[in-house]
Homo-oligomer: A and B are copies of this chain.
Amino acid sequence: MSTGGEPEADAEMKAISGMTHITQNENQGEGGGGMLCLPENQVAGHRAEGGVLGPLVDKAGRFYKPLQDLERGENEVNFYQKFWSDPRIPPRVQHFFPRFYGRTSVQASDGGGMRDHAVIEDLTYQFQHPSIIDIKMGSRTWYPGASEEYIKKCISKDRETSSSLLGFRISGMQVYESPEKPTWKADKNWCKMLTNKGVRVALKRFVSLNPSSETDPDGLLAPYIYGAPGCILSQLLEMKAWFEEQTLYHFYSASLLLIYEGDPTSSNESFHSSGFTKRGISVKLIDYAHVLDGENIIDHNFLGGLCSLINVIAQIVADKA
């Protein structure tokens, strides 16, 4: 893997998806979902096209994430297995974590033959036109025990981006606008350049009816998507309450995904039965390649960033109230 050893490699295989057929690569998943396809709604990480290794999806709502090198893949699978069999996890926070369906070997998207993949919940499976933002949490992304080289790279990235200052950074986003316009997408480099103010505008853009406006996203959906009962702010506060007491896991370099159905005419009853609220508004925690045992200490790095994110989003809601 070309970027193995890079701090951003955590995000490399990350995607959230609908699906697009890969005609050149008729993958057969062993999980029973039939042909594997390219995820349609991927906002961060390398895409599985043009011979690049990346995630795939099936038609049954499962997401196939190729195991990363350098023990990252093993770490992630181990976390999923441990988490979903951990009796100390309160049921009220389980909905923040993608379901895990095991580990399987399928044809990798890079044409390199069979490769182990983690099979997890396809988080955008039920969406028609999801708006998605990927937020890498924590003012620092390095973890105790990492190599000096890795730590140095992380510190540089944290300082160059908004991580050090704000406690989080945006890694990718897409916002649905209307049937007439293409979904607005941010590229990786655009995200990297976001300052404190830029991050605020991006979080406002995420809940705007005119996301493609260069200068003035309207933020008109903020009271609903962010502020309404059960929606993003209240879910983040629920997550915060857990992080204030949980000392089980430290989530270094993990991301929060905020997702909602961008097309208001789309309705999907099944949202209601799976912990999703109206318009599928949901908060998910992903990317577990660097989850460490908590050693009886709270994850103050994640929690600090979460409190900062809550404060920024609450300001956006207040501005639109």
Interface residues of A (CB under 8 A from B): 139-140, 144, 155, 164-167, 196, 244-245, 247, 295-298, 300-301, 303-305, 307-308, 311-312, 315
Name the B residues within 8 Å of A307 (CB-CB). 244, 298, 300, 303-304
Partner pick for A244 among B166, B300, B311, B312, CB 8 A cutoff: B311
Name the B residues within 8 Å of A297 (CB-CB). 165-167, 196, 308, 311-312
What's the number of copies of this chain in the assembled complex? 2
Once the chains are docked, how many angstroms separate the CA of A164 from the CA of B166?
17
CB distance B301 to A139 under 8 Å?
Answer: yes
Name the B residues within 8 Å of A296 (CB-CB). 196, 315
CB distance B298 to A301 under 8 Å?
Answer: no
Once the chains are docked, how many angstroms separate the CA of A295 from the CA of B164?
13
Once the chains are docked, how many angstroms separate the CA of A295 from the CA of B155?
21
Given contacts A244-B307, A298-B308, 11 further A-B contacts (CB under 8 A): A139-B139, A139-B140, A139-B300, A140-B140, A144-B165, A166-B300, A167-B301, A196-B295, A196-B296, A300-B305, A301-B304
Residue of B nearest to A250 (CB): B165
Most buried by B among A164, A244, A304, A307: A304
Partner pick for A304 among B196, B245, B304, CB 8 A cutoff: B304
Once the chains are docked, how many angstroms separate the CA of A307 from the CA of B245?
9
